[in-house]
Structure 1
Amino acid sequence: MRPDFASLSNPDPITDLSAWEAELNLGFAQRGDKTVLARREHRGPLTVQRPFYPEGGVCHVYLLHPPGGIVAGDRLTIAATVEHDAQALITTPAAGKFYRSGGGEARQNVNLQIAENASLEWLPQETIVYEGARLNSSMNIDLADRAHFIGWEILALGRPAAGEGFDNGSANLNWRISRAGRLFYLERLRLDAEAFQARWGLFGHSACGTMLVYPATPLQLGAVQELIGDESNRGVTLIEGLLICRGLDRRADLLKSFFEAVWGLVRGDVIGKEVCLPRIWAT
Protein backbone atom coordinates (compact mmCIF):
# COMPACT_ATOMS: atom_id res chain seq x y z
CA MET A 1 0.00 0.00 0.00
CA ARG A 2 1.49 3.31 -1.04
CA PRO A 3 1.57 5.93 1.74
CA ASP A 4 -0.34 9.15 1.15
CA PHE A 5 2.44 11.66 0.48
CA ALA A 6 0.29 14.65 1.40
CA SER A 7 -0.65 13.09 4.75
CA LEU A 8 3.00 12.87 5.82
CA SER A 9 3.17 16.62 6.40
CA ASN A 10 3.11 17.66 10.03
CA PRO A 11 -0.08 19.65 10.53
CA ASP A 12 1.36 21.87 13.24
CA PRO A 13 2.07 25.40 12.04
CA ILE A 14 5.66 26.62 11.81
CA THR A 15 6.01 29.99 13.41
CA ASP A 16 9.63 30.55 12.40
CA LEU A 17 9.48 31.58 8.75
CA SER A 18 13.21 30.89 8.35
CA ALA A 19 12.74 27.21 9.23
CA TRP A 20 12.85 24.48 6.60
CA GLU A 21 10.02 22.03 6.05
CA ALA A 22 11.06 19.21 3.74
CA GLU A 23 9.53 15.94 2.58
CA LEU A 24 10.90 13.03 0.60
CA ASN A 25 8.94 10.01 -0.63
CA LEU A 26 10.73 7.08 -2.25
CA GLY A 27 9.33 3.94 -3.84
CA PHE A 28 11.42 0.88 -4.77
CA ALA A 29 10.24 -1.85 -7.15
CA GLN A 30 11.76 -4.95 -8.69
CA ARG A 31 12.28 -4.71 -12.44
CA GLY A 32 13.86 -7.79 -13.99
CA ASP A 33 17.04 -8.65 -12.13
CA LYS A 34 17.41 -5.42 -10.15
CA THR A 35 15.55 -3.03 -7.89
CA VAL A 36 14.85 0.42 -9.29
CA LEU A 37 13.91 3.71 -7.68
CA ALA A 38 10.44 3.76 -9.22
CA ARG A 39 9.16 6.82 -7.37
CA ARG A 40 10.90 9.93 -6.06
CA GLU A 41 8.89 12.89 -4.83
CA HIS A 42 10.34 15.70 -2.76
CA ARG A 43 9.49 19.10 -1.42
CA GLY A 44 12.02 21.42 0.13
CA PRO A 45 15.74 20.73 0.66
CA LEU A 46 15.65 16.95 0.88
CA THR A 47 16.45 14.66 -2.04
CA VAL A 48 18.56 11.68 -3.18
CA GLN A 49 21.41 11.07 -5.56
CA ARG A 50 20.96 8.69 -8.47
CA PRO A 51 20.85 5.03 -7.39
CA PHE A 52 24.05 2.98 -7.22
CA TYR A 53 24.46 -0.77 -7.78
CA PRO A 54 27.76 -1.83 -6.20
CA GLU A 55 26.51 -5.36 -5.55
CA GLY A 56 24.28 -6.14 -8.51
CA GLY A 57 20.53 -5.89 -8.02
CA VAL A 58 20.34 -4.15 -4.62
CA CYS A 59 19.51 -0.45 -5.03
CA HIS A 60 21.75 1.82 -2.91
CA VAL A 61 20.44 5.34 -2.36
CA TYR A 62 22.07 8.30 -0.54
CA LEU A 63 19.86 10.85 1.22
CA LEU A 64 20.91 14.47 0.72
CA HIS A 65 19.98 17.45 2.90
CA PRO A 66 21.71 20.43 1.22
CA PRO A 67 21.49 22.86 4.19
CA GLY A 68 23.87 20.52 6.01
CA GLY A 69 22.21 20.80 9.41
CA ILE A 70 18.84 21.05 11.14
CA VAL A 71 17.79 23.89 13.44
CA ALA A 72 14.84 24.59 15.70
CA GLY A 73 11.61 24.73 13.73
CA ASP A 74 12.85 22.49 10.90
CA ARG A 75 10.60 19.55 10.01
CA LEU A 76 11.91 16.65 7.93
CA THR A 77 9.67 13.80 6.78
CA ILE A 78 11.09 10.80 4.94
CA ALA A 79 8.99 7.94 3.58
CA ALA A 80 10.12 4.85 1.71
CA THR A 81 8.10 1.93 0.35
CA VAL A 82 9.79 -1.26 -0.83
CA GLU A 83 7.54 -3.38 -3.02
CA HIS A 84 7.36 -7.17 -3.29
CA ASP A 85 10.78 -8.83 -3.91
CA ALA A 86 12.64 -5.49 -4.10
CA GLN A 87 15.88 -4.86 -2.17
CA ALA A 88 17.06 -1.40 -1.15
CA LEU A 89 19.72 0.16 1.05
CA ILE A 90 19.43 3.77 2.23
CA THR A 91 22.27 5.70 3.83
CA THR A 92 23.65 9.24 4.07
CA PRO A 93 26.91 10.77 2.75
CA ALA A 94 27.79 12.36 6.09
CA ALA A 95 26.69 12.74 9.67
CA GLY A 96 23.40 14.51 10.34
CA LYS A 97 23.57 17.59 12.56
CA PHE A 98 21.00 19.10 14.91
CA TYR A 99 22.15 22.54 16.05
CA ARG A 100 21.67 24.43 19.29
CA SER A 101 18.15 25.72 19.87
CA GLY A 102 16.89 28.87 21.51
CA GLY A 103 13.94 26.87 22.84
CA GLY A 104 12.23 25.52 19.74
CA GLU A 105 12.21 21.91 18.60
CA ALA A 106 13.45 20.26 15.39
CA ARG A 107 11.50 17.25 14.17
CA GLN A 108 12.35 14.30 11.97
CA ASN A 109 9.81 11.65 10.99
CA VAL A 110 10.76 8.49 9.09
CA ASN A 111 8.09 6.13 7.72
CA LEU A 112 9.23 2.85 6.18
CA GLN A 113 7.04 0.22 4.57
CA ILE A 114 8.44 -3.17 3.48
CA ALA A 115 6.32 -5.66 1.50
CA GLU A 116 6.40 -9.47 1.34
CA ASN A 117 9.81 -10.92 0.43
CA ALA A 118 11.24 -7.40 0.17
CA SER A 119 14.20 -6.04 2.15
CA LEU A 120 15.27 -2.61 3.33
CA GLU A 121 18.47 -1.61 5.05
CA TRP A 122 18.27 1.77 6.80
CA LEU A 123 21.89 2.65 7.63
CA PRO A 124 22.35 6.41 8.06
CA GLN A 125 25.62 7.71 9.37
CA GLU A 126 25.58 9.09 12.90
CA THR A 127 23.46 12.03 14.01
CA ILE A 128 25.28 14.73 15.99
CA VAL A 129 23.05 16.47 18.52
CA TYR A 130 24.81 19.67 19.57
CA GLU A 131 24.65 20.83 23.16
CA GLY A 132 21.44 22.81 23.57
CA ALA A 133 19.68 21.18 20.61
CA ARG A 134 16.13 19.88 20.94
CA LEU A 135 15.36 16.91 18.72
CA ASN A 136 12.14 14.96 18.34
CA SER A 137 12.62 11.90 16.13
CA SER A 138 10.04 9.26 15.17
CA MET A 139 10.74 6.03 13.30
CA ASN A 140 7.69 4.11 12.05
CA ILE A 141 8.31 0.74 10.38
CA ASP A 142 5.54 -1.32 8.78
CA LEU A 143 6.63 -4.87 7.98
CA ALA A 144 4.79 -7.51 6.00
CA ASP A 145 4.90 -11.04 7.47
CA ARG A 146 7.88 -12.07 5.36
CA ALA A 147 9.59 -8.69 5.09
CA HIS A 148 13.29 -8.23 5.90
CA PHE A 149 14.76 -5.23 7.69
CA ILE A 150 18.10 -4.11 9.11
CA GLY A 151 18.38 -0.62 10.54
CA TRP A 152 20.27 1.46 13.04
CA GLU A 153 20.28 4.84 14.70
CA ILE A 154 23.50 6.25 16.15
CA LEU A 155 23.51 9.46 18.17
CA ALA A 156 26.47 11.57 19.23
CA LEU A 157 25.47 13.94 22.04
CA GLY A 158 27.66 17.02 22.17
CA ARG A 159 31.10 17.25 20.58
CA PRO A 160 33.70 15.84 22.99
CA ALA A 161 36.56 16.54 20.58
CA ALA A 162 35.69 20.25 20.87
CA GLY A 163 35.29 20.02 24.64
CA GLU A 164 31.50 20.14 24.42
CA GLY A 165 29.33 17.89 26.58
CA PHE A 166 25.57 17.83 26.82
CA ASP A 167 24.72 20.05 29.77
CA ASN A 168 21.43 21.15 28.24
CA GLY A 169 19.18 20.11 25.40
CA SER A 170 17.17 16.95 24.72
CA ALA A 171 16.60 14.17 22.21
CA ASN A 172 13.26 12.37 22.17
CA LEU A 173 13.44 9.14 20.17
CA ASN A 174 10.41 7.04 19.24
CA TRP A 175 10.39 3.65 17.49
CA ARG A 176 7.14 2.03 16.37
CA ILE A 177 7.23 -1.28 14.50
CA SER A 178 4.20 -3.09 13.09
CA ARG A 179 4.09 -6.54 11.53
CA ALA A 180 1.22 -7.47 9.20
CA GLY A 181 -0.63 -4.41 10.51
CA ARG A 182 -0.21 -5.32 14.20
CA LEU A 183 1.93 -3.21 16.51
CA PHE A 184 4.52 -5.44 18.16
CA TYR A 185 7.30 -3.11 19.28
CA LEU A 186 7.08 0.37 20.77
CA GLU A 187 9.90 2.32 22.38
CA ARG A 188 10.21 5.85 23.67
CA LEU A 189 13.49 7.26 24.88
CA ARG A 190 14.27 10.69 26.23
CA LEU A 191 17.89 11.81 26.54
CA ASP A 192 18.68 15.04 28.35
CA ALA A 193 21.45 16.44 30.54
CA GLU A 194 20.43 14.24 33.49
CA ALA A 195 20.29 11.06 31.39
CA PHE A 196 23.62 11.97 29.79
CA GLN A 197 25.43 11.93 33.15
CA ALA A 198 23.44 9.39 35.21
CA ARG A 199 24.58 5.82 35.84
CA TRP A 200 21.12 4.64 34.76
CA GLY A 201 21.55 6.59 31.51
CA LEU A 202 24.58 7.18 29.30
CA PHE A 203 26.96 7.73 32.25
CA GLY A 204 28.89 10.35 30.29
CA HIS A 205 29.22 8.34 27.07
CA SER A 206 28.72 10.69 24.15
CA ALA A 207 27.59 8.02 21.66
CA CYS A 208 24.62 5.71 21.93
CA GLY A 209 22.83 3.59 19.38
CA THR A 210 20.21 0.98 18.60
CA MET A 211 20.29 -1.59 15.81
CA LEU A 212 17.25 -3.65 14.74
CA VAL A 213 17.22 -6.82 12.65
CA TYR A 214 14.15 -8.71 11.40
CA PRO A 215 13.59 -11.61 11.06
CA ALA A 216 16.22 -12.98 13.41
CA THR A 217 16.72 -16.33 15.13
CA PRO A 218 18.31 -17.60 18.35
CA LEU A 219 21.34 -18.60 16.25
CA GLN A 220 21.92 -14.96 15.28
CA LEU A 221 21.34 -13.89 18.87
CA GLY A 222 24.05 -16.32 19.96
CA ALA A 223 26.44 -15.09 17.27
CA VAL A 224 26.07 -11.47 18.38
CA GLN A 225 26.42 -12.45 22.04
CA GLU A 226 29.68 -14.20 21.15
CA LEU A 227 30.84 -11.08 19.28
CA ILE A 228 30.12 -8.95 22.35
CA GLY A 229 31.77 -11.37 24.77
CA ASP A 230 32.80 -9.57 27.95
CA GLU A 231 32.87 -6.13 26.33
CA SER A 232 31.05 -3.58 28.44
CA ASN A 233 28.36 -1.19 27.21
CA ARG A 234 27.08 -3.62 24.59
CA GLY A 235 23.86 -5.64 24.69
CA VAL A 236 21.54 -7.70 22.52
CA THR A 237 18.16 -9.39 22.90
CA LEU A 238 15.58 -11.17 20.74
CA ILE A 239 11.85 -10.38 20.96
CA GLU A 240 9.36 -12.08 18.62
CA GLY A 241 11.94 -12.45 15.88
CA LEU A 242 13.25 -8.89 16.30
CA LEU A 243 16.93 -8.67 17.22
CA ILE A 244 17.63 -5.52 19.24
CA CYS A 245 21.26 -4.55 19.70
CA ARG A 246 22.39 -1.56 21.76
CA GLY A 247 25.63 0.14 22.55
CA LEU A 248 27.30 3.04 24.32
CA ASP A 249 30.71 4.41 23.49
CA ARG A 250 32.91 7.47 23.87
CA ARG A 251 32.99 7.95 20.07
CA ALA A 252 30.31 7.44 17.44
CA ASP A 253 32.73 5.90 14.94
CA LEU A 254 33.61 3.13 17.41
CA LEU A 255 29.94 2.37 17.92
CA LYS A 256 29.33 2.35 14.17
CA SER A 257 32.19 -0.14 13.76
CA PHE A 258 30.47 -2.44 16.27
CA PHE A 259 27.17 -2.21 14.41
CA GLU A 260 28.98 -2.91 11.13
CA ALA A 261 30.38 -6.08 12.70
CA VAL A 262 26.87 -7.15 13.71
CA TRP A 263 25.68 -6.33 10.18
CA GLY A 264 28.38 -8.64 8.86
CA LEU A 265 27.11 -11.47 11.05
CA VAL A 266 23.42 -11.22 10.13
CA ARG A 267 23.18 -9.84 6.59
CA GLY A 268 23.76 -13.12 4.80
CA ASP A 269 20.82 -14.79 6.56
CA VAL A 270 18.47 -11.78 6.59
CA ILE A 271 19.16 -10.16 3.22
CA GLY A 272 20.77 -13.09 1.42
CA LYS A 273 23.98 -11.23 0.55
CA GLU A 274 27.36 -10.61 2.09
CA VAL A 275 28.13 -7.13 3.38
CA CYS A 276 28.84 -4.51 0.72
CA LEU A 277 29.86 -1.19 2.27
CA PRO A 278 28.29 1.85 0.58
CA ARG A 279 30.96 3.63 -1.45
CA ILE A 280 30.11 6.96 0.14
CA TRP A 281 31.39 5.74 3.53
CA ALA A 282 34.93 5.62 2.14
CA THR A 283 34.98 9.27 0.99
Structure 2
Amino acid sequence: MASLPPDPIAAPPVLQRARGRADVGFRLDDGATRLDRLFQEGQAKIRLPKVHGATPATAVLINTGGGIAGGDRIAWGARFGAGTRALVTSQAAERVYRSSTTDGELSGEIDSLLEIGDGARAEWLPQETILFDRAALSRRLDVTMAADASALMVEAIVLGRTAMGEEVETCRLVDRWRIRRGGRLVFADTFRVEGAARTILAGAATGAGARAFATVVFVDPQAETRLDEVRALLATGSSAGGASAFDGLLVIRLAHGEPARLKAELSRLLVLIRRAELPRVWSC
Protein backbone atom coordinates (compact mmCIF):
# COMPACT_ATOMS: atom_id res chain seq x y z
CA MET A 1 0.00 0.00 0.00
CA ALA A 2 1.46 3.35 -1.04
CA SER A 3 2.21 5.80 1.72
CA LEU A 4 0.35 9.08 1.87
CA PRO A 5 2.20 12.31 1.06
CA PRO A 6 3.20 14.52 4.00
CA ASP A 7 0.48 16.72 5.42
CA PRO A 8 1.10 20.23 3.97
CA ILE A 9 -0.48 21.80 7.03
CA ALA A 10 2.29 20.36 9.20
CA ALA A 11 5.06 21.97 7.14
CA PRO A 12 6.77 24.95 8.85
CA PRO A 13 5.50 28.28 7.57
CA VAL A 14 7.66 30.34 5.23
CA LEU A 15 7.89 33.67 7.02
CA GLN A 16 8.07 36.90 5.10
CA ARG A 17 11.23 38.99 5.53
CA ALA A 18 11.67 42.70 4.95
CA ARG A 19 14.47 43.79 2.63
CA GLY A 20 15.52 47.32 1.86
CA ARG A 21 18.45 49.25 0.46
CA ALA A 22 18.83 52.95 -0.19
CA ASP A 23 21.79 55.17 -1.16
CA VAL A 24 22.11 58.92 -1.42
CA GLY A 25 25.04 60.91 -2.80
CA PHE A 26 25.92 64.60 -2.76
CA ARG A 27 28.19 66.69 -5.01
CA LEU A 28 29.47 70.27 -4.95
CA ASP A 29 28.05 72.36 -7.81
CA ASP A 30 28.82 76.10 -8.11
CA GLY A 31 29.61 76.27 -4.41
CA ALA A 32 26.38 74.55 -3.34
CA THR A 33 25.78 70.98 -2.19
CA ARG A 34 23.35 69.20 -4.50
CA LEU A 35 21.93 65.73 -4.94
CA ASP A 36 24.18 63.54 -7.07
CA ARG A 37 22.64 60.08 -6.66
CA LEU A 38 19.50 58.53 -5.20
CA PHE A 39 18.71 54.81 -5.20
CA GLN A 40 16.04 53.04 -3.16
CA GLU A 41 14.37 49.64 -3.15
CA GLY A 42 12.20 47.54 -0.87
CA GLN A 43 11.36 48.97 2.54
CA ALA A 44 14.19 51.55 2.50
CA LYS A 45 13.24 55.03 1.30
CA ILE A 46 14.96 58.44 1.39
CA ARG A 47 13.29 61.85 1.28
CA LEU A 48 15.03 65.18 0.61
CA PRO A 49 13.23 68.06 2.33
CA LYS A 50 13.80 71.63 1.23
CA VAL A 51 16.33 73.50 3.35
CA HIS A 52 17.03 77.20 3.70
CA GLY A 53 19.77 79.50 4.92
CA ALA A 54 22.66 77.85 6.72
CA THR A 55 20.92 74.46 7.01
CA PRO A 56 22.97 71.82 5.17
CA ALA A 57 21.52 69.62 2.45
CA THR A 58 19.45 67.00 4.29
CA ALA A 59 18.39 63.42 3.60
CA VAL A 60 15.77 61.66 5.75
CA LEU A 61 15.84 57.85 6.01
CA ILE A 62 12.51 56.01 6.19
CA ASN A 63 11.91 52.32 6.87
CA THR A 64 8.44 51.80 5.43
CA GLY A 65 8.30 48.33 7.01
CA GLY A 66 7.56 50.03 10.33
CA GLY A 67 10.41 48.33 12.19
CA ILE A 68 12.87 45.42 12.16
CA ALA A 69 12.11 41.80 13.04
CA GLY A 70 14.23 38.67 12.99
CA GLY A 71 15.69 38.05 9.53
CA ASP A 72 14.94 41.56 8.17
CA ARG A 73 17.81 43.38 6.45
CA ILE A 74 18.13 47.11 5.80
CA ALA A 75 21.18 48.74 4.17
CA TRP A 76 21.81 52.49 4.04
CA GLY A 77 24.51 54.29 2.08
CA ALA A 78 25.55 57.96 1.99
CA ARG A 79 28.31 59.47 -0.15
CA PHE A 80 29.51 62.99 0.55
CA GLY A 81 31.51 64.32 -2.40
CA ALA A 82 34.55 66.56 -2.07
CA GLY A 83 33.73 69.89 -0.44
CA THR A 84 30.09 69.07 0.28
CA ARG A 85 28.20 69.77 3.48
CA ALA A 86 25.25 67.47 4.14
CA LEU A 87 23.28 65.80 6.90
CA VAL A 88 21.55 62.41 7.05
CA THR A 89 18.93 61.73 9.72
CA SER A 90 15.87 59.49 10.16
CA GLN A 91 12.17 60.18 10.13
CA ALA A 92 11.58 58.59 13.54
CA ALA A 93 13.03 56.15 16.03
CA GLU A 94 13.73 52.72 14.54
CA ARG A 95 11.99 49.81 16.29
CA VAL A 96 13.32 46.28 16.66
CA TYR A 97 10.68 43.70 17.53
CA ARG A 98 10.83 40.26 19.12
CA SER A 99 12.72 37.58 17.24
CA SER A 100 10.42 34.54 17.40
CA THR A 101 11.86 31.11 18.15
CA THR A 102 10.32 29.93 14.87
CA ASP A 103 12.81 32.25 13.15
CA GLY A 104 15.73 30.18 14.34
CA GLU A 105 16.67 33.16 16.55
CA LEU A 106 17.64 35.20 13.48
CA SER A 107 18.81 38.76 14.06
CA GLY A 108 17.55 41.76 12.20
CA GLU A 109 20.38 43.55 10.38
CA ILE A 110 21.04 47.24 9.75
CA ASP A 111 24.20 48.06 7.78
CA SER A 112 25.22 51.65 7.07
CA LEU A 113 28.09 52.78 4.84
CA LEU A 114 29.37 56.37 4.72
CA GLU A 115 31.94 57.66 2.21
CA ILE A 116 33.21 61.18 2.90
CA GLY A 117 35.38 62.96 0.34
CA ASP A 118 38.13 65.59 0.57
CA GLY A 119 37.15 68.59 2.67
CA ALA A 120 33.55 67.39 3.07
CA ARG A 121 31.52 68.00 6.25
CA ALA A 122 29.20 65.10 6.95
CA GLU A 123 26.64 64.55 9.70
CA TRP A 124 25.08 61.16 10.48
CA LEU A 125 22.31 61.87 12.98
CA PRO A 126 19.68 59.10 12.99
CA GLN A 127 17.23 59.05 15.87
CA GLU A 128 17.37 56.33 18.51
CA THR A 129 16.79 52.62 17.93
CA ILE A 130 14.27 51.02 20.35
CA LEU A 131 14.61 47.32 21.22
CA PHE A 132 11.65 45.38 22.55
CA ASP A 133 11.84 42.29 24.74
CA ARG A 134 13.52 39.31 23.01
CA ALA A 135 14.67 41.52 20.13
CA ALA A 136 17.77 40.54 18.16
CA LEU A 137 19.75 43.13 16.20
CA SER A 138 23.09 43.22 14.43
CA ARG A 139 23.98 46.78 13.43
CA ARG A 140 27.11 48.03 11.68
CA LEU A 141 28.36 51.50 10.76
CA ASP A 142 31.33 51.62 8.35
CA VAL A 143 32.87 55.00 7.56
CA THR A 144 35.58 55.77 5.00
CA MET A 145 36.69 59.40 5.01
CA ALA A 146 39.41 61.61 3.57
CA ALA A 147 42.16 62.82 5.88
CA ASP A 148 40.87 66.42 5.89
CA ALA A 149 37.15 65.62 6.04
CA SER A 150 34.89 66.26 9.05
CA ALA A 151 32.15 63.98 10.39
CA LEU A 152 29.74 64.11 13.32
CA MET A 153 28.07 60.74 13.98
CA VAL A 154 25.69 59.39 16.60
CA GLU A 155 23.98 56.09 17.34
CA ALA A 156 21.62 55.59 20.30
CA ILE A 157 19.94 52.48 21.74
CA VAL A 158 16.86 52.35 23.99
CA LEU A 159 15.77 49.15 25.74
CA GLY A 160 11.98 49.37 25.95
CA ARG A 161 9.66 52.36 26.32
CA THR A 162 9.43 53.28 29.99
CA ALA A 163 6.31 55.42 29.40
CA MET A 164 4.54 52.24 28.25
CA GLY A 165 5.81 50.19 31.18
CA GLU A 166 7.88 47.95 28.89
CA GLU A 167 10.74 45.82 30.21
CA VAL A 168 13.46 44.17 28.16
CA GLU A 169 14.30 41.01 30.07
CA THR A 170 16.42 39.46 27.35
CA CYS A 171 17.77 40.55 23.98
CA ARG A 172 20.65 40.13 21.59
CA LEU A 173 22.42 43.27 20.38
CA VAL A 174 25.70 43.64 18.53
CA ASP A 175 26.52 47.22 17.52
CA ARG A 176 29.76 47.77 15.55
CA TRP A 177 31.57 50.95 14.48
CA ARG A 178 34.53 51.07 12.08
CA ILE A 179 35.95 54.44 10.97
CA ARG A 180 38.83 54.78 8.50
CA ARG A 181 40.41 58.18 7.85
CA GLY A 182 43.00 58.68 5.14
CA GLY A 183 43.15 54.91 4.60
CA ARG A 184 43.90 54.17 8.27
CA LEU A 185 41.60 52.57 10.83
CA VAL A 186 41.18 55.22 13.56
CA PHE A 187 38.16 53.96 15.50
CA ALA A 188 36.85 50.44 16.09
CA ASP A 189 34.21 49.70 18.67
CA THR A 190 31.72 46.90 19.39
CA PHE A 191 28.93 47.12 21.96
CA ARG A 192 27.32 43.80 22.81
CA VAL A 193 24.45 42.73 25.06
CA GLU A 194 23.38 39.10 24.76
CA GLY A 195 21.11 37.20 27.10
CA ALA A 196 19.56 38.48 30.33
CA ALA A 197 19.75 42.18 29.54
CA ARG A 198 18.48 43.52 32.88
CA THR A 199 20.97 41.37 34.82
CA ILE A 200 23.87 42.23 32.52
CA LEU A 201 23.20 45.97 32.65
CA ALA A 202 22.62 46.06 36.40
CA GLY A 203 26.34 45.79 37.18
CA ALA A 204 28.26 48.90 38.22
CA ALA A 205 30.70 48.41 35.34
CA THR A 206 28.06 47.44 32.78
CA GLY A 207 25.50 50.23 32.99
CA ALA A 208 24.30 50.42 36.61
CA GLY A 209 20.74 49.84 35.47
CA ALA A 210 20.85 52.10 32.40
CA ARG A 211 18.22 51.51 29.72
CA ALA A 212 19.40 54.01 27.12
CA PHE A 213 22.84 54.45 25.60
CA ALA A 214 24.43 56.75 23.04
CA THR A 215 27.78 57.01 21.33
CA VAL A 216 28.87 60.23 19.62
CA VAL A 217 32.01 60.46 17.51
CA PHE A 218 33.25 63.77 16.08
CA VAL A 219 36.11 63.45 13.60
CA ASP A 220 37.59 66.82 12.72
CA PRO A 221 41.02 68.54 12.69
CA GLN A 222 39.75 70.70 15.59
CA ALA A 223 37.93 67.93 17.48
CA GLU A 224 40.35 67.82 20.40
CA THR A 225 39.90 71.54 21.09
CA ARG A 226 36.20 70.93 21.87
CA LEU A 227 36.84 68.52 24.75
CA ASP A 228 36.66 71.01 27.64
CA GLU A 229 33.34 72.57 26.60
CA VAL A 230 31.83 69.12 26.02
CA ARG A 231 32.92 67.91 29.47
CA ALA A 232 31.53 71.08 31.04
CA LEU A 233 28.14 70.41 29.45
CA LEU A 234 28.17 66.75 30.50
CA ALA A 235 28.83 67.83 34.09
CA THR A 236 25.49 69.70 34.14
CA GLY A 237 23.48 66.62 33.10
CA SER A 238 22.36 63.47 34.87
CA SER A 239 23.65 60.92 32.35
CA ALA A 240 26.55 58.66 33.23
CA GLY A 241 29.43 58.66 30.78
CA GLY A 242 32.23 60.89 29.66
CA ALA A 243 34.28 62.24 26.78
CA SER A 244 37.81 61.73 25.51
CA ALA A 245 39.78 63.22 22.63
CA PHE A 246 42.73 61.86 20.68
CA ASP A 247 44.19 61.85 17.16
CA GLY A 248 41.60 64.28 15.79
CA LEU A 249 38.66 62.40 17.34
CA LEU A 250 36.22 63.36 20.08
CA VAL A 251 34.39 60.33 21.51
CA ILE A 252 31.47 60.66 23.92
CA ARG A 253 29.47 57.98 25.76
CA LEU A 254 26.18 58.52 27.53
CA ALA A 255 24.01 56.14 29.56
CA HIS A 256 20.81 56.78 31.51
CA GLY A 257 18.00 54.86 33.19
CA GLU A 258 15.41 57.17 31.61
CA PRO A 259 15.43 57.21 27.79
CA ALA A 260 13.70 60.62 27.61
CA ARG A 261 16.38 62.19 29.78
CA LEU A 262 19.15 60.69 27.68
CA LYS A 263 17.62 62.00 24.45
CA ALA A 264 17.25 65.49 25.93
CA GLU A 265 20.88 65.55 27.09
CA LEU A 266 22.09 64.01 23.83
CA SER A 267 20.22 66.72 21.92
CA ARG A 268 21.89 69.47 23.95
CA LEU A 269 25.26 67.89 23.31
CA LEU A 270 24.76 67.67 19.55
CA VAL A 271 23.57 71.29 19.40
CA LEU A 272 26.74 72.32 21.21
CA ILE A 273 29.05 70.39 18.89
CA ARG A 274 27.39 71.41 15.63
CA ARG A 275 26.67 75.00 16.78
CA ALA A 276 23.18 74.74 15.31
CA GLU A 277 19.79 73.30 16.13
CA LEU A 278 18.98 69.69 15.31
CA PRO A 279 16.89 68.68 12.28
CA ARG A 280 13.17 69.32 12.78
CA VAL A 281 12.34 65.60 12.64
CA TRP A 282 14.10 65.19 16.01
CA SER A 283 11.29 67.15 17.65
CA CYS A 284 8.37 65.58 15.79
TM bin, normalised by shorter chain, reads: 0.7 to 0.9
Once the two structures are overlaid, the 10-residue window that deviates more, 189-198 or 139-148, is 189-198
Structure 1 SS opposite 2:282: helix
Residue matched to 2:206: 201
Residue matched to 2:226: 220
Instruction: Tell me which of 113, 121, 125 is aligned to 2:115.
Output: 113
Instruction: Tell me which of 34, 39, 55 is aligned to 2:53.
Output: 55
1: distance between equivalents of 2:248 and 2:260? Answer: 28
Question: How many residue pairs are counted as aligned between the two chains?
Answer: 263
Pairwise CA distance, 1:266? 2.4
Residue matched to 1:7: none
In structure 2, relative to structure 1, the CA distance for the partners of 1:163 and 1:276 (3 Å cut) is closer
Pairwise CA distance, 1:94? 1.0
Residue matched to 1:133: 135
Once the two structures are overlaid, the 10-residue window that deviates more, 182-191 or 46-55, is 46-55
In structure 2, relative to structure 1, the CA distance for the partners of 1:167 and 1:25 (3 Å cut) is same
Say yes or no: does 1:243 pair with 2:282: no
In structure 2, relative to structure 1, the CA distance for the partners of 1:162 and 1:57 (3 Å cut) is closer
Percent identity of equivalent pairs: 29
In structure 2, relative to structure 1, the CA distance for the partners of 1:33 and 1:254 (3 Å cut) is farther
One-letter amino acid of the structure 2 residue matched with residue 221 of structure 1: L
Structure 2 SS opposite 1:219: helix
Higher Rg of the two aligned structures: 2
Once the two structures are overlaid, the 10-residue window that deviates more, 31-40 or 15-24, is 15-24
Q: What are the ranges of 5 or more consecutive residues in structure 2 without an aligned counterpart?
A: 1-12
Q: Are the equivalent residues in 1 in contact too, given 2:224–2:249 (CA < 8 A)?
A: no
Instruction: Tell me which of 137, 152, 157 is aligned to 2:159.
Output: 157
In structure 2, relative to structure 1, the CA distance for the partners of 1:140 and 1:210 (3 Å cut) is same
In structure 2, relative to structure 1, the CA distance for the partners of 1:264 and 1:245 (3 Å cut) is same
1: distance between equivalents of 2:190 and 2:14? Answer: 27
Pairwise CA distance, 1:53? 1.2
One-letter amino acid of the structure 2 residue matched with residue 37 of structure 1: L
Q: Runs ≥4 in structure 1, deviation > 6 angstroms?
A: none
Once the two structures are overlaid, the 10-residue window that deviates more, 126-135 or 54-63, is 54-63
Pairwise CA distance, 1:225? 1.1
Structure 2 SS opposite 1:198: coil
Pairwise CA distance, 1:164? 2.2
Residue matched to 2:76: 78
Say yes or no: does 1:266 pair with 2:269: no
1: distance between equivalents of 2:53 and 2:244? Answer: 30
Structure 2 SS opposite 1:169: strand
Say yes or no: does 1:233 pair with 2:233: no
1: distance between equivalents of 2:188 and 2:273? Answer: 23
2: distance between equivalents of 1:33 and 1:16? Answer: 52
In structure 2, relative to structure 1, the CA distance for the partners of 1:261 and 1:101 (3 Å cut) is same
2: distance between equivalents of 1:123 and 1:257? Answer: 14
In the TM superposition, 1:30-49 aligns within 5 A as 30-49=28-47
TM-score by length of 2: 0.87
TM-score by length of 1: 0.87
Q: Are the equivalent residues in 2 in contact too, given 1:34–1:57 (CA < 8 A)?
A: no
2: distance between equivalents of 1:115 and 1:156? Answer: 32
Q: Are the equivalent residues in 1 in contact too, given 2:25–2:36 (CA < 8 A)?
A: yes
Q: Are the equivalent residues in 2 in contact too, given 1:210–1:247 (CA < 8 A)?
A: yes
Pairwise CA distance, 1:17? 4.9
Q: What are the ranges of 5 or more consecutive residues in structure 1 without an aligned counterpart?
A: 1-14, 268-273
Pairwise CA distance, 1:54? 3.4
Structure 2 SS opposite 1:116: coil
Q: Are the equivalent residues in 2 in contact too, given 1:101–1:132 (CA < 8 A)?
A: yes
Which digits, 9 at most, give the CA deviation of each residue in 1:188-237, with x for residues without a partner?
11023143222221222111110110114433001111112265503101
Residue matched to 2:215: 210
2: distance between equivalents of 1:19 and 1:55? Answer: 41
